[in-house]
Amino acid sequence: MIHGGDIYTEGVFKGKKLLDYSSNINPLGIPKVFLKNIKEALENMIVYPDIQYRNLIKYIKEYIGCENVDVLLGNGASELIDLSISLFKSILIIVPSYGEYEIDAKRWNCRIEFSYLSSQMEIDYDDIMNKMGKVDSIIIGNPNNPNGGVIDKKKFQPILDFCEKNDKVIILDETFIEFTGKNEFSFMDKIEKYKSIFIIKAMTKFFAMPGIRFGYGITKNSSIVDGIKNRQNPWNINCFAEIAAKYCLSDLDYINESVVLVNREIQFMTEELKKIYFIEKVFPTCANFVLCKVRNVNEQQVYDYCINRGIIIRKAGNFKGLDKNFIRFAIKDRISNEKLLTVLRHFQRNSYPVC
Ligand SMILES: Cc1ncc(COP(=O)(O)O)c(C=O)c1O
């Protein structure tokens, strides 16, 4: 399984409801303001959306607090990841990371170089710098999936300067950035100055709407804008996404509550997971998921134990650079987190009765 979120194979199609710890969606769920205004989208269904999406782009610019940029729209972040990668002959991919980066690059015959995170899941900035001369572009998650680490902007600055000077493009996948609650982690503050930057975001994760399939890209680089637009179909965004953006992006209560909840639960989960013996390492995270390394058991054993108790987790062994000793958990609300921890503690007791 390349992705999390498959509640179907072991759940829906077997008549079971699973607690999904394999995909990383805001535990607060769909903002209520969207449900309150969904009728507006239903009324709009009878007409084509504005082919230029002028209002939608206005809502996004207001949300990101930046007027003087180009905004591209995608059917999920995935469409923009795919189309931006399609523009290049070669790309540096930081791994382990979201598997689609490599799949997309291969689809477009884009030559791939890899830069591996260290065993502590830290970015090797020197390695990136050394490899940038050999590629046209780089893609990096900020925060990165599966570990939830963010880029150290100071250490990244020489890479940014090099890319800017040498016409290379930096694709920053910031689909999880809001969960950090810290604007300064984002590269949005550099977007107007550096045309080498292309930031991809989405309503998928933070606004808990994977089903609406809405992502957007931000840049000052007209070649990226033209290149992607040339490859897109008209009306690729539906009227529900437009209404979601209209109401949810300005819902400050939801935004603030989400950040508080997720950051409280990151701390709780990290502390509790560290107490479980078969979990050798809990990697520090800034996002709503946590990567763990296990010992004396493998991903499949933990997965099977959890799935038999109604919880689906993410086996992380198929992330490039990881192996079968890695698992990833979403971070959800306290009640769900307690349920997961109870199952993991039982697994520990069964596996290690004396610990
Ligand atoms: C890092 C990262 N980027 C992008 C995506 C895809 O987002 P979307 O569903 O908006 O296409 C995912 C999905 O898991 C992801 O983990």
pLDDT in tens, 44-103: 999 999 999 999 999 999 999 999 999 999 999 999 999 999 999 999 999 999 999 999
Partnered with residue 198 across adjacent β-strands are 171, 219
Average pLDDT score, the chain? 96
Quote the pTM value: 0.96
Q: Which residues lie closer than 8 Å to 318 by C-beta, 6 or more apart?
A: 1, 2, 99
Task: Report, as an integer, the average pLDDT of 130-144.
Answer: 98
Ligand 1 binding pocket mutation candidate from 78, 140, 177, 237 (most atoms within 8 A of CB)? 78
CATH 3.40.640.10 range(s) for the chain read 32-250
pLDDT, residue 15, reads 78
The mean pLDDT of 144-159, rounded to a whole number, is: 98
* Distance of alpha carbon 128 from alpha carbon 115, whole angstroms: 6
If you average pLDDT over residues 123-128, what whole number do you get? Answer: 98
Q: What are the residues whose beta carbons fall under 8 Å from the beta carbon of 185, sequence distance 6 or more? A: 142, 143, 150, 151, 153, 177, 286
Choosing from 85, 144, 145 the residue with most ligand 1 atoms within 8 A of its CB, the one to mutate for a pocket test is 145
Instruction: Determine which residue's CA is closest to atom 12 belonging to ligand 1.
Output: 98
Whose alpha carbon is nearest atom 2 of ligand 1?
A: 98
Atom of ligand 1 nearest to the CA of 97: 1
Q: How many angstroms does the Cα of residue 165 sit away from the middle of ligand 1?
A: 29
Pick the CATH number of 12-29+253-351 from 3.30.70.260, 3.40.50.1820, 3.90.1150.10, 3.30.465.10: 3.90.1150.10
At residue 239, the pLDDT reads 97
What distance in angstroms lies between residue 24's CA and the mean position of ligand 1's atoms?
9
The verdict on the CB of residue 99 being under 6 Å from ligand 1 is: no
Determine the atom of ligand 1 nearest the C-alpha atom of 176.
1
- Which CATH number is 32-250 given? 3.40.640.10
Q: Where in the chain is the domain with CATH 3.90.1150.10?
A: 12-29+253-351
* Amino acid 355: pLDDT: 53
Residue 298 host element (H or E): none
